[in-house]
């Protein structure tokens, strides 16, 4: 009886941490030329401002469209939205599809402030 409960708790804790915001790693990955930057916000939010080089794909469409941007499942992918919640959902989708280097960078405003200005 104890083993199934421990297994369940472990699975729940792993799921909860899968979509956590990791801005330091996101900033590091954005230094790489092969990183794909995806904005999962709405068209209106994107029109108000987006990070340079970001491609807009809303979370419900990400499974269908990711293959054109990142055909290799080990491609680094950085996701952001307004707060990190939708990016977390998109991260879960991509990880279920087998993508291995997916980072939730959190919210646009915080990420834009943290990026070095050229």
For 22-33, write each residue's pLDDT tens digit. Answer: 999 999 999 999
DSSP per residue over 77-89, as a string? EEEEESSSHHHHH
For 7-50, write each residue's pLDDT tens digit. Answer: 433 343 344 345 799 999 999 999 999 999 999 999 999 999 99
Is 81 marked active-site?
yes
**Percent of the chain with pLDDT strictly greater than 90:** 81
The pLDDT, as a whole number, for residue 16 is 38
For the whole model, what pTM was predicted? 0.83
The pLDDT, as a whole number, for residue 79 is 98
Residue 8 or residue 96, greater confidence: 96
Q: Quick one: residue 43, left, alpha or beta (phi over 0 = left, psi -120 to 50 = alpha)?
A: alpha
Of these residues, 21, 37, 57, 81, which one is catalytic? 81
Asked if the model's pLDDT at residue 64 lies above 90, the reply is yes
CA 94-98-99 angle, 5° bins: 60
Where do the domains of the chain lie, and which CATH numbers do they carry? 19-114 (3.40.250.10)
């Amino acid at each position: 009886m104890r083993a199934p409960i421990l297994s369940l708790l472990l699975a729940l804790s792993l799921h909860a941490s899968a979509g956590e915001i990791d801005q330091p790693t996101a900033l590091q990955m954005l230094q790489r030329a092969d990183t794909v930057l995806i904005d999962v916000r709405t068209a209106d939010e994107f029109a108000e401002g987006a990070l340079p080089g970001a491609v807009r794909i809303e979370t419900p469409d990400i499974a269908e469209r990711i293959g054109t941007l990142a055909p290799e499942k080990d491609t680094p992918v950085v996701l952001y939205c307004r707060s990190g919640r939708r990016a977390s959902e998109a991260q879960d989708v991509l990880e279920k599809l087998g993508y291995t280097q997916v980072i939730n960078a959190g919210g646009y405003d915080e990420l834009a402030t943290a990026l070095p200005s050229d």
